[in-house]
């Protein structure tokens, strides 16, 4: 028999913790003196009580460790339960969102997607803006833990390649998720502080610096203004680019750095390939921009760097409306969104290491076609890769593309045009934020979409955030057998 109590216990605790964090926007709104703080008091009480009661009622079933079945249910359950409660302040507060919109916004926050259905951000109580930032910050740290601890163990989408690595690094001393989470949290909090200070240094207010630091290091991309990051053009764009890139390098390398080992970071092939890809793309776009617009070279370089970094890391801030950058750059941005950052970070989408493995596999395939009797083995980071990992990665890629097609067709069924449907499916599955076209492009907003489309996109965000398999495995009959 499937015992749901251990799953309910952990989810309950996490929900209660989410409720506890509502004290922060409560205090901010209290300081503003508007009375809007009551919303967070009510939401917080409801959330803490609900979570606490569930945890309490399940606490008699808690054992050492979880079965595979329970681990999957936990992973998906967390990302379903937290948006439900995270939506409360958005429904009850000044935004007065309907349930579908509030759930979409909270899911977009916790999956670090950053697509928003809220307009008039500039006029909102600060508590709401801070709450959106907190959702993304928590979603970011949450996914790093899941990507470093759970997915490799569950052998999802080729993530098992990082299994030995993560545990080798920690040695036998830190074998548990909570302990890995603690080390990662130190790094994540450090990045956040450094980002806040850097934003302050270039003139942002303390509130803006904090919220945008939350949504930068989580590569979430929510902003406090309808104009997104266009409010802060200039040096802030360089700072944001720097921290967005830091946030999508493998966190295991930072843990090693903390432990005094800097060589893995310098030698990691995923990091090298990722930085090279960014450099090449920034170069291409900067050249294209200087040709199209009478831009100073610095402006071209800055806009290229910021917007490429924003899309490839899956942050999704916009500093300009790149729908005005002409057909080449528009199409390029669509495909760049399908690349993503490094595994074991806050990034989503397909990710660099998978492309490295796919291209390695393609090269081997071409060698085999040419010399059917030769022996060729794909490599990653200097080591041979077994067929198990390669197969997982390819299945992931196929599944990602097929899911993208199905989500796009489902969105089209709700009446959205081809570009909006396809780029909407991609931006949701890749947890990026903006899509293409007038409706959901960098200058648009998701509020005008119909309700079914918002549900479909919410599901796509969830599926994409948990690397597909972690959700889809529950759709198989076999999963539910004991």
Kindly tell me which of 133 and 221 has the beta carbon lying closer to K ion.
Answer: 221
d(CA 215, CA 209): 10
- In the three-class reduction of DSSP (H, G, I as helix; E, B as strand; rest coil), residue 241 is classed as helix
242 lies in the binding site for a copy of itself (CB under 8 A):
no
- In the three-class reduction of DSSP (H, G, I as helix; E, B as strand; rest coil), residue 74 is classed as helix
Residue 95 CA neighbour count, 13 Å, CB half: 30
**Would you give the binding string for a copy of itself spanning residues 110-139, x where CB under 8 A is met?**
------------------------------
236 dihedral zone (left: phi>0; alpha: psi -120 to 50; beta)? alpha
- In the three-class reduction of DSSP (H, G, I as helix; E, B as strand; rest coil), residue 433 is classed as coil
d(CA 212, CA 298): 23
Q: Which two tokens stand for residue 77?
A: 């359950």
Kindly tell me which of 34 and 391 has the beta carbon lying closer to a copy of itself.
Answer: 391
Placement of tokens 């393609």 in the chain:
362
> Residues 362, 397: contact at Cβ < 8 Å?
no
49 interacts with, out of K ion, a copy of itself, none, CB within 5 to 8 A per kind? none
d(CA 175, CA 172): 6
| Binding residues among 134-193 for a copy of itself as defined by CB under 8 A | 154-156
Count of residues engaged in binding a copy of itself, rule: CB under 8 A: 57
d(CA 71, CA 56): 19
Helices of type H across 33-123: 37-58, 68-86, 88-92, 99-110
> Residues 431, 340: contact at Cβ < 8 Å?
no
Kindly tell me which of 218 and 403 has the beta carbon lying closer to K ion.
Answer: 218
Kindly tell me which of 24 and 330 has the beta carbon lying closer to a copy of itself.
Answer: 330
d(CA 340, CA 356): 12
Count of residues engaged in binding K ion, rule: CB under 5 A: 5
Kindly tell me which of 75 and 458 has the beta carbon lying closer to a copy of itself.
Answer: 75
| Neighbouring C-beta atoms of residue 184, cutoff 10 Å | 21
49 lies in the binding site for a copy of itself (CB under 8 A):
no
436 lies in the binding site for a copy of itself (CB under 8 A):
yes
**Would you give the binding string for K ion spanning residues 108-127, x where CB under 5 A is met?**
------x-------------
**Would you give the binding string for K ion spanning residues 293-332, x where CB under 5 A is met?**
---------------------x-x----------------
Instruction: Give strand ranges (E) for 329-467.
Output: 379-380, 383-384
Backbone angles phi, psi at 30, to 5 degrees: -65, -40
Binding segment for a copy of itself (CB under 8 A), chosen from 88-96, 106-114, 240-248, 368-376, is 368-376
Q: Which two tokens stand for residue 7?
A: 């799953």
User: Residue 52, annotated ligand binder?
Assistant: no
User: Residue 112, annotated ligand binder?
Assistant: yes
**Would you give the binding string for K ion spanning residues 185-224, x where CB under 5 A is met?**
------------------------------------x---
**Distance in Å, CB of 435 to a copy of itself, minimum:** 11
Kindly tell me which of 8 and 221 has the beta carbon lying closer to K ion.
Answer: 221
**Diameter over CA atoms, the chain:** 77
User: Residue 259, annotated ligand binder?
Assistant: no
324 interacts with, out of K ion, a copy of itself, none, CB within 5 to 8 A per kind? none
Instruction: Please enumerate in sequence order all residues whose Cβ is within 8 A of that of 274, keeping only pairs 6 or more positions apart, or say none.
Output: 248, 249, 341, 342, 352
Q: Residue ranges for the binding site for K(+)?
A: 112-113, 220, 315, 431
Which residues make up the interface to a copy of itself (CB under 8 A)?
68-69, 154-156, 326-328, 330-332, 334-335, 338, 358, 361-363, 365-372, 387, 390-392, 394-395, 397-399, 401-402, 405, 408-409, 411-413, 415-419, 421-422, 436, 469, 472-473, 476, 478-479
Q: Which parts of this chain interact with K ion (CB under 5 A)?
A: 114, 221, 314, 316, 433
Residues that constitute the known binding site: 112-113, 220, 315, 431
């Amino acid at each position: 028999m499937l015992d749901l109590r251990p799953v309910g216990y952990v989810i309950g605790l996490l929900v209660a913790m989410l409720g506890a964090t509502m004290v922060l926007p409560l205090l901010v709104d209290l300081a503003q003196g508007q009375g809007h703080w009551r919303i967070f008091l009510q939401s917080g009480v409801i959330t803490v009580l609900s979570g606490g009661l569930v945890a309490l009622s399940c606490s008699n079933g808690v054992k050492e460790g979880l079965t595979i079945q329970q681990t999957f249910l936990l992973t998906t359950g967390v990302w379903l339960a937290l948006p439900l409660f995270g939506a409360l302040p958005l429904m009850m507060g000044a935004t007065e969102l309907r349930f579908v919109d509030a759930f979409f916004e909270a899911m977009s926050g916790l999956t670090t997607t950053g697509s928003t259905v809220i307009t008039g951000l500039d006029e909102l109580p600060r508590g709401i803006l801070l709450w959106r930032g907190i959702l993304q910050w928590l979603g970011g740290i949450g996914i790093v833990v899941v990507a470093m601890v759970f997915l490799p163990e569950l052998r999802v989408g080729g993530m098992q390649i990082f299994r030995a690595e993560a545990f080798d690094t920690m040695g036998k001393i830190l074998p548990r998720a909570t302990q890995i989470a603690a080390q990662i949290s130190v790094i994540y909090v450090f990045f956040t502080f450094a980002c806040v200070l850097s934003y302050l240094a270039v003139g942002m207010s303390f509130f803006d610096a904090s919220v945008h630091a939350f949504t930068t290091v989580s590569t979430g991309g929510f902003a406090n203004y309808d104009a997104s990051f266009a409010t802060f053009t200039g040096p802030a764009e360089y700072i944001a680019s720097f921290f967005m890139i830091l946030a999508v390098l493998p966190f295991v390398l930072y843990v090693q750095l903390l432990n005094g080992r800097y060589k893995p970071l310098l030698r990691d092939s995923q990091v090298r390939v990722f930085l090279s890809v960014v450099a090449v793309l920034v170069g291409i776009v900067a050249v294209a921009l200087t040709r199209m617009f009478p831009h100073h070279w610095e402006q071209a370089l800055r806009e290229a760097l910021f917007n490429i970094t924003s899309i490839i890391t899956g942050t999704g801030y916009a500093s300009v409306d790149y729908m005005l950058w002409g057909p080449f750059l528009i199409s390029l941005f669509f495909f760049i969104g399908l690349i993503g950052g490094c595994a074991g970070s806050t990034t989503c989408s397909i990710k660099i290491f998978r492309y490295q493995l796919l291209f390695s596999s393609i090269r081997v395939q071409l060698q085999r076609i040419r010399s059917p009797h030769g022996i060729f083995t794909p490599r990653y980071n200097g080591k041979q890769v077994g067929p198990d990992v390669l197969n997982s990665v390819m299945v992931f890629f196929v599944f990602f593309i097929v899911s993208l097609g199905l989500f796009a067709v489902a969105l089209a069924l709700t009446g959205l045009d081809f570009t909006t449907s396809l780029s909407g499916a991609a931006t949701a599955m890749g947890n990026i934020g903006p899509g293409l076209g007038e409706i959901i492009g960098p200058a648009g907003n998701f509020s005008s979409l119909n309700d079914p489309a918002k549900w479909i996109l919410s599901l796509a965000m969830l599926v994409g955030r948990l690397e597909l398999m972690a959700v889809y495995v529950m759709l198989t009959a076999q999963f539910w057998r004991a």
